[in-house]
C-alpha cells in the first residue's frame, strides 16, 4: 500500500515545522524582551541647572581636571557631600532580618545574631529602609539598579550568568570623573560590570553556592589593611556567604545565625574604624549596607514575592530619630532610590537614566534649603528623562501654557493625561519652591507648614514620574512580533496537519485489516476526548495570572481525571468480555487485570505526588509531606532517600531481567549500572550531611566519576548493543511471538529485524531510564528522592498498561498521557512558574570551579527531571507497544520507521506547539498587564525551556530508533547474504 505521506516527507516536514517554530520564537523573544533603551551619554554640570527646551550638553566637563570638576559640582549643588563611601553588599539578606516585618521587630534569634547593627538602629545612628527590588531578583540587574537607578530589561536574568560591562551612566562612572580611587572585594560581578575601574580588587565567583565560608573570608581578610589606608574613596564589599547559605539550607538553616553574626562583626569593624571617631560635618565616611534581593523560605530567589523583593538599605553615619520597628516597616522604598540619594550625598550628578526618588530622611541633618535643593535636582533629572520618553511633554519654559490665566498657575488638583498631570505636579512644586525663596531667612523659620507643603509637592511629582517611568512598557517592534507569532502559528499548523494525516492513514489501515466496527477511527471514547480537551483547558487557563501562578493544580487534576477515565474504560471492557465465552474471558481478563492494576498504581502514586510539595506561589506555606518530613529531621530524610535509591536500582534491575537480550549482555550492562548506583548511594551516605560545609574534594571527585561512568555506560549501551545482540532466525517468530504473526506479514518478519529492534530499544531505553534515575538521585534535593521513585513507578505502570493494550489501542492517547504525567511530575518535584524555585545548589554538585555551561546543563537537568524522564521512556514504550504492528503486505523500511516514530515524536511536538503558540499570543495581549513581568514573563521563559526539553527528548527518541534500526537491518542483511553463500 503506497502512502502519500512517506517517511522522508514526514521527516522533512517535521524538521521544517520545528525550524520555523525556532525562528518565530527567536524573533518574538528578541522583539518582546528587548534590552531596555537608555539615554546615551552621562550627566554633567547641566544636571544642576533647570531643564530647557534646548538640551544643554556637558561640553566642558571633560576638559576639566577631576579636582576642578569635583569643586564645580559641589558649588553647583550647594550640598556639602560626604568624603568617602563604604558600600557593603550582603547578598540575599532580607530586610526583615534587620528591620522586622508587620510592625514587629525581627525574631529574637535574628536580633541576637546582629547585636551591633541593632544597637546602631536603636541609638539613632543608622537609618534603615525596606528597599523593594524589581523582578527578576537576581544579582546583576539589582546591582545595576542600585548604581544607575534604572530598571533593566527582564532578560537581564539571562545576562546574570554572563555579565557584560555596564556602559550606561552610573555612580561609579561619576565617581571616576571626579578622581575617586576605588577598591572592590567580593563578588566578581562588579569586575565584569566595571572592568579596569578598581585600583585594587579581589573577586570571588558568585555561582559556586557550595562555598559558604571561604567566599566571605576572601573579602574580610583585606579589611584590616584597607581600613588603615587613606588612598581610596570608595570601597565595595560584596559578601556572598549568606546567599549561599540560603540556597543550600533555606532561611532556617543552622548556618544563618552564625553568618549574620559574621556580617555584624564586619559592620562593627568598619563603623568603629572609620565612622564612630569622626565628627559630624564635611569629611565623613558613610557606610551603606545593602542587599541585592531577599530570599524565599527555601532560600531561592528570582521571582516577585515579598520575601524575594524585600531587600535592605541601611545608612550608617546618618542621624535618625526613629527607633520604633513599626516605623521602620513603613520605610518602604524602591531599590532604585539608592542611586539618586548617594549621588547627591556625595555631590555628583544623578545618573542620566535614573528613575529613583530621594530617600526621605537621609538629608535630615542638612538645612532646609539644601534639602529642597536636593529634591529640585532630583525633579530636574526626572523631568529630562520624561521629556525624552514623552516628546509631547512641555518644556520648563512653557509649562504654564496649558493652564488658563484665571488659575494664576495656582494648581490644587492635577488630572488629565500623563503629560498634563506631570506638568501640573512639577509646576505646583516649583512655584511653591519659588515662593519660599522669595521669603527672607527669618520668616522661613516660622513657615514649617509651607516647607512641609513644598516637600510634599516635590515628592508627589517625583513618585508619579518614577512610577510611570518604571512601569512604562518599551515600544515593541510590531512587525517583528507579528512575524514571530505568524511563524509559530504556521509551525503549529504543519505539525498538527502531520498528526492528523498520519492518524487517518494508520486507522484506515487498521479498518482494512480489522473487521470489528468498534475499532473504527470515528469512534471516540471519553478518555480520548478528554485528552484533547486538556489542551483547551490549558489554553483557556493561560489568560489568568492566578492560574499561571498555580498551574500545578491543572496538571494534577488532568492526570487524576484521565486515570479515572481509563479505569472506567477498563471496567466497561471487563463487563463486555464477561458476556462472551469463558475462554475469551480468561484470555482477555489477564490483560485487563494488568491494565487495571497499572491504573491503580498511577492513581495512588499521583495522589502521593500531589501532596508532596505545596507548590505554586500563593499557598506554599500550607503543610505538605515534604515539610512534615523535613521537620522530622535530616536523618529521616536521608533514610527515605537511601531506601528510594535502593528501590529504584532494584526496579531497574528487575526491568532489565525482562529484556529479550542474551543473559551475558544483560549481566554486563546491569552490573555496570549497578556499580555506579552503589557509588551514588555512597555519595549520599558519606557526603549528604557535609553539603553545608565548603566544597569537599573527595565528594566532588566521586560525583565526577559518577557523571563520567554513567555517560560512558549509557552511550556505550546505545552505540554497542545493536551490534552485539544476536540476530534471530525468522522461522521462530511465529512460535515465540504470536502477537507478530497475527498482525505482521511473514515476508516483513523475514526481511526486517522487528523482534531484534524491540529488544534493542527495550535495553537501550532501560539504560536511559536507569541513568536518569541515578543522576536525579545524585542531583535532586534529598526530599525529592521518593517523588523520583514514584515517577519511575508511574513510567513502569504506563508501560505495563501500553504492553497489554493490543494492536487496536490508540497510540497517540498513550503518548499524550505520558506527556501529561511528565508535566504533573514537574510540579510535583517542587517546581513552579516563578524563577525562585530553580534549584541552584544542585547545579554545582561535582564541580570544583564555576562553569556557566556545565552549571546551566545541570540546572536544566534538575529542573526538567520529570518531563525529560517521561520523554526518554518513550524509547521503552516503542519497544513494548504493539499498536504500530498493523502493517500492510507491501511495506518497506521507511514505512516501518514511520509507524514507530510518527506519534511518539509528533504528539509531544504538537501538544507543546499548541501551548507555545497560545501562550505567545496571551503574552502579547497581556503586554500592558500589571503582572506582565512578575507572572506572565517568567512563565514564558518556562514555556521556552519546556520547548527545548521536548526538542531534546524527541531527538533522543528518533536518533535511538533510527540508529538501532539501521544497524540491525544492516546486520540482518549481511547475515542473509552469508547464509546464501553457505548454501
Kindly list the averaged pLDDT for each block of 10 residues, start to end, along the chain of length 983: 70 94 93 72 84 57 77 82 89 91 86 92 88 85 89 64 74 91 91 89 72 83 89 92 86 89 94 70 77 87 84 86 56 90 91 90 81 90 85 55 43 70 86 80 64 88 88 72 94 94 75 51 72 91 87 92 87 67 57 84 93 80 85 85 92 81 80 92 80 63 92 93 75 46 54 78 92 93 92 93 71 91 93 83 78 85 94 91 61 76 92 95 83 83 94 95 89 68 53
- Give 204's strand partners: 187
Q: Is the dihedral of CA 857, 858, 862, 865 positive or negative?
A: positive
Q: Which grid coordinates belong to 733?
A: 517468530
Residue 189 lies in a domain: yes
Size of the chain, expressed as the number of residues it contains:
983
Residue of 897, 906, 901, 905 lying closest to 965 (CA atoms): 897
Which of residues 866, 882, 898 is at a domain's end? Answer: 882
Q: Which is nearest to 629 in space by CA: 763, 508, 782?
A: 782
Alpha helices in 829-926 (DSSP H): 852-863, 865-880, 893-925
Last residue within a domain, chosen from 352, 380, 411: 352
Sign of the alpha-carbon torsion through 757, 762, 767, 772: positive
Quick one: cell of 643?
531506601
Q: Which three cell numbers stand for residue 362?
A: 537621609
| pLDDT for position 453 | 87
Query: Cα(666)–Cα(557) distance, rounded to whole angstroms?
Result: 39
Determine, yes or no, domain membership for 65. no
Residue at 697 is within a domain: yes
Q: Is residue 434 part of a domain?
A: no
Cβ proximity of 471 and 926 under 8 Å: no
**Secondary structure (3-state) at 304:** coil
**Last-in-domain residue among 352, 369, 393:** 352
List the end-to-end C-alpha distance of the chain, in Å, as a whole number.
33
**pTM greater than 0.85 (yes/no):** no
Which pLDDT value is given to residue 74? 83
Q: Give the residue among 644, 655, 707, 653 at the shortest CA–CA distance from 679.
A: 707
Backbone phi, psi, residue 289, to 5°? -105, 120
Round to whole Å and give the CA distance between 67 and 39: 26
Which residue matches cell numbers 487557563?
Answer: 541
| Residue carrying C-alpha cell 530617600 | 359
Residue 665 forms part of a structural domain: yes
CATH of the domain at 114: 3.40.720.10
- Confidence at residue 776, expressed as pLDDT on a 0 to 100 scale: 94
As a whole number of angstroms, the longest Cα–Cα distance in the chain is: 123
Asked whether residue 896 is assigned to any structural domain, the reply reads no
**Is residue 458 assigned to a domain?**
no
pLDDT at residue 887, rounded to an integer: 58
Q: 541 is in which domain, residue-wise? A: 525-728+749-882
Q: Hey, what's the torsion of the CAs at 808, 812, 818, 821, to 10 degrees?
A: -110
At 379 the pLDDT is 92
Q: Contact 846/779 with Cβ under 8 angstroms?
A: no
How far is the C-alpha of 427 from the C-alpha of 345, rounded, in Å?
25
Residue 101: count other Cβ atoms within 10 Å of its Cβ. 19
Strand partners, 187: 204
pLDDT for 576 equals 65
Burial class (CB in 10 A: 0-12, 13-18, 19+), 230: exposed
Q: How far is residue 352's CA from residue 40's CA, in Å, rounded to a whole number?
A: 8
Let me know: does 90 contact 262? Beta carbons within 8 Å. no
Contact 371, 382 (CB under 8 A): no
How many Å apart are CA 762 and CA 659, to the nearest integer? 7
630 falls within a domain: yes
* Of the candidates 305, 213, 313, 294, the residue with the CA atom closest to the CA atom of residue 251: 294
pLDDT value for 331: 73
What total of structural domains would you count in the chain?
2
Q: What is the pLDDT of residue 732?
A: 46
All three cell numbers of 454, joined, read 513644598
Residue 57's alpha-carbon distances to 64, 107, 965, in angstroms, are 15, 52, 71
Number of H helices, E strands in the chain: 39, 8
Cα–Cα distance measured from residue 507 to residue 520, given in angstroms and rounded to the nearest whole number: 7
**Sheet holding 84-90: strands in order across?**
200-204, 182-187, 234-239, 84-90, 285-290, 310-316, 126-132, 332-334
Give the distance from CA 786 to its chain's centroid: 24
Amino acid at each position: 500500500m503506497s502512502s502519500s505521506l512517506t517517511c522522508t516527507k514526514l521527516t522533512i516536514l517535521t524538521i521544517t515545522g520545528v525550524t520555523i517554530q525556532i525562528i518565530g520564537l527567536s524573533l518574538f523573544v528578541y522583539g518582546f524582551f528587548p534590552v531596555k533603551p537608555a539615554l546615551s551619554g552621562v550627566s554633567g554640570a547641566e544636571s544642576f541647572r533647570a531643564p530647557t527646551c534646548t538640551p544643554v550638553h556637558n561640553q566642558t566637563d571633560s576638559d576639566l581636571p577631576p579636582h576642578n570638576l569635583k569643586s564645580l559640582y559641589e558649588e553647583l549643588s550647594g550640598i556639602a557631600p560626604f568624603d568617602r563611601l563604604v558600600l557593603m553588599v550582603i547578598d540575599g539578606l532580607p530586610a526583615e532580618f534587620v528591620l522586622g516585618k508587620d510592625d514587629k521587630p525581627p525574631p529574637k534569634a535574628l536580633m541576637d545574631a546582629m547585636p551591633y547593627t541593632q544597637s546602631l538602629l536603636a541609638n539613632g545612628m543608622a537609618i534603615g529602609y525596606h528597599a523593594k527590588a524589581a523582578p527578576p531578583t537576581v544579582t546583576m540587574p539589582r546591582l545595576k539598579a542600585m548604581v544607575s537607578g534604572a530598571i533593566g530589561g527582564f532578560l537581564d536574568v539571562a545576562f546574570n550568568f554572563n555579565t557584560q560591562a555596564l556602559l550606561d551612566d552610573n555612580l561609579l562612572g561619576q565617581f571616576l570623573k571626579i578622581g575617586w580611587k576605588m577598591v572592590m572585594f567580593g563578588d566578581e560581578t562588579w569586575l565584569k560590570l566595571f572592568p579596569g575601574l578598581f585600583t585594587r580588587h579581589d573577586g570571588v565567583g558568585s555561582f559556586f553556592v557550595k562555598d559558604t565560608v571561604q567566599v566571605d573570608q576572601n573579602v574580610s581578610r583585606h579589611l584590616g589593611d584597607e581600613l588603615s589606608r587613606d588612598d581610596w574613596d570608595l570601597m565595595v564589599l560584596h559578601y556572598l556567604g549568606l546567599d549561599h547559605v540560603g540556597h543550600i539550607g533555606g532561611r532556617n538553616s543552622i548556618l544563618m545565625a552564625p553568618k549574620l553574626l559574621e556580617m555584624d562583626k564586619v559592620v562593627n569593624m568598619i563603623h568603629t574604624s572609620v565612622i564612630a571617631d569622626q565628627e559630624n560635618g564635611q569629611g565623613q565616611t558613610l557606610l551603606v549596607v545593602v542587599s541585592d534581593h531577599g530570599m524565599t523560605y527555601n532560600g531561592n530567589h528570582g521571582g516577585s514575592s515579598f520575601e524575594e523583593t524585600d531587600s535592605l538599605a541601611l545608612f550608617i553615619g546618618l542621624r535618625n530619630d526613629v527607633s520604633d520597628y513599626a516605623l521602620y516597616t513603613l520605610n518602604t522604598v524602591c531599590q532604585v532610590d539608592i542611586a539618586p540619594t548617594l549621588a547627591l550625598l556625595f555631590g555628583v550628578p544623578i545618573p542620566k537614566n535614573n528613575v529613583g526618588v530621594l530617600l526621605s530622611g537621609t538629608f535630615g541633618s542638612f538645612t532646609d534649603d539644601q534639602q529642597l535643593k536636593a529634591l529640585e535636582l532630583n525633579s530636574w533629572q526626572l523631568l529630562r528623562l520624561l521629556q525624552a520618553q514623552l516628546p509631547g511633554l512641555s518644556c520648563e519654559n512653557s509649562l504654564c501654557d496649558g493652564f488658563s490665566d484665571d488659575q494664576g498657575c495656582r494648581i490644587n488638583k492635577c488630572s488629565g493625561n500623563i503629560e498634563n498631570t506631570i506638568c501640573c505636579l512639577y509646576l505646583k512644586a516649583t512655584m511653591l519652591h519659588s515662593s519660599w525663596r522669595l521669603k527672607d531667612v527669618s520668616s522661613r523659620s516660622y513657615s514649617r507648614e509651607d516647607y512641609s507643603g513644598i516637600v510634599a509637592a516635590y515628592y508627589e511629582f517625583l513618585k508619579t514620574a518614577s512610577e510611570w517611568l518604571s512601569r512604562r512598557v518599551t515600544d515593541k517592534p510590531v512587525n517583528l512580533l507579528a512575524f514571530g507569532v505568524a511563524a509559530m502559528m504556521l509551525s503549529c499548523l504543519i505539525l498538527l496537519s502531520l498528526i492528523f494525516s498520519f492518524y487517518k492513514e494508520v486507522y484506515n489501515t487498521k479498518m482494512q485489516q480489522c473487521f470489528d466496527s468498534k475499532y473504527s477511527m470515528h469512534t471516540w471514547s471519553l478518555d480520548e476526548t478528554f485528552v484533547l480537551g486538556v489542551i483547551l483547558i490549558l489554553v483557556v487557563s493561560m489568560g489568568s495570572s492566578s492560574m499561571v501562578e498555580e498551574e500545578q493544580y491543572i496538571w494534577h487534576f488532568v492526570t487524576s481525571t484521565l486515570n479515572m477515565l481509563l479505569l472506567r474504560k477498563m471496567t466497561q471492557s471487563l463487563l463486555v468480555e464477561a458476556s462472551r465465552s469463558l475462554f475469551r474471558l480468561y484470555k482477555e481478563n489477564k490483560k485487563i487485570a494488568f491494565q487495571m492494576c497499572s491504573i491503580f498504581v498511577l492513581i495512588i502514586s499521583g495522589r502521593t505526588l500531589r501532596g508532596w510539595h505545596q507548590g505554586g506561589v500563593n499557598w506554599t506555606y500550607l503543610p505538605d509531606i515534604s515539610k512534615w518530613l523535613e521537620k522530622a529531621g535530616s536523618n529521616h530524610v536521608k533514610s527515605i532517600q537511601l531506601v528510594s535509591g535502593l528501590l529504584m536500582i532494584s526496579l531497574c534491575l528487575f526491568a532489565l531481567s525482562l529484556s529479550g537480550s542474551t543473559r551475558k549482555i544483560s549481566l554486563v550492562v546491569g552490573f555496570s549500572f549497578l556499580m555506579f548506583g552503589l557509588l551514588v548511594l555512597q555519595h549520599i551516605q558519606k557526603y549528604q550531611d557535609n553539603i553545608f560545609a565548603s566544597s569537599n574534594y573527595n565528594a566532588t571527585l566521586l560525583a565526577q566519576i559518577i557523571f563520567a561512568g554513567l555517560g560512558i555506560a549509557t552511550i556505550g549501551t546505545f552505540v554497542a548493543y545493536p551490534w552485539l545482540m544476536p540476530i534471530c532466525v525468522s522461522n521462530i517468530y511465529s512460535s515465540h511471538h504470536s502477537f507478530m504473526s497475527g498482525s505482521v506479514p511473514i515476508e516483513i518478519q523475514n526481511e526486517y529485524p522487528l523482534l531484534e529492534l524491540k529488544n534493542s530499544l527495550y535495553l537501550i531505553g532501560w539504560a536511559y531510564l536507569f541513568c536518569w534515575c541515578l543522576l536525579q538521585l545524585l542531583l535532586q534535593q534529598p526530599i525529592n528522592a521518593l517523588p523520583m521513585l514514584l515517577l519511575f513507578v508511574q513510567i513502569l505502570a504506563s508501560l505495563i498498561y501500553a504492553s497489554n493494550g493490543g494492536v487496536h489501542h490508540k497510540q497517540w492517547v498513550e503518548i499524550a498521557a505520558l506527556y501529561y504525567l511528565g508535566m504533573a511530575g514537574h510540579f510535583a518535584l517542587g517546581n513552579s512558574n516563578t524563577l525562585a524555585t530553580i534549584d541552584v545548589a544542585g547545579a554545582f554538585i561535582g564541580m570544583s570551579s564555576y562553569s556557566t555551561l556545565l552549571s546551566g546543563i545541570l540546572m536544566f537537568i534538575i529542573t526538567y527531571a520529570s518531563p525529560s524522564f517521561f520523554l526518554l521512556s518513550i524509547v521503552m514504550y516503542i519497544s513494548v507497544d504493539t499498536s504500530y504492528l498493523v502493517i500492510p503486505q507491501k511495506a518497506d523500511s521507511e514505512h516501518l520507521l514511520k509507524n514507530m516514530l510518527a506519534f511518539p515524536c509528533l504528539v509531544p511536538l504538537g501538544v507543546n506547539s499548541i501551548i507555545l503558540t497560545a501562550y505567545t499570543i496571551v503574552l502579547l495581549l497581556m503586554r500592558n498587564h500589571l503582572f506582565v513581568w512578575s507572572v506572565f514573563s517568567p512563565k514564558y521563559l518556562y514555556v521556552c525551556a519546556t520547548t527545548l526539553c521536548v526538542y531534546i527528548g524527541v531527538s533522543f527518541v528518533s536518533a535511538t530508533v533510527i540508529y538501532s534500526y539501521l544497524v540491525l537491518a544492516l546486520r540482518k542483511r549481511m547475515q542473509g547474504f552469508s547464509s546464501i553463500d553457505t548454501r
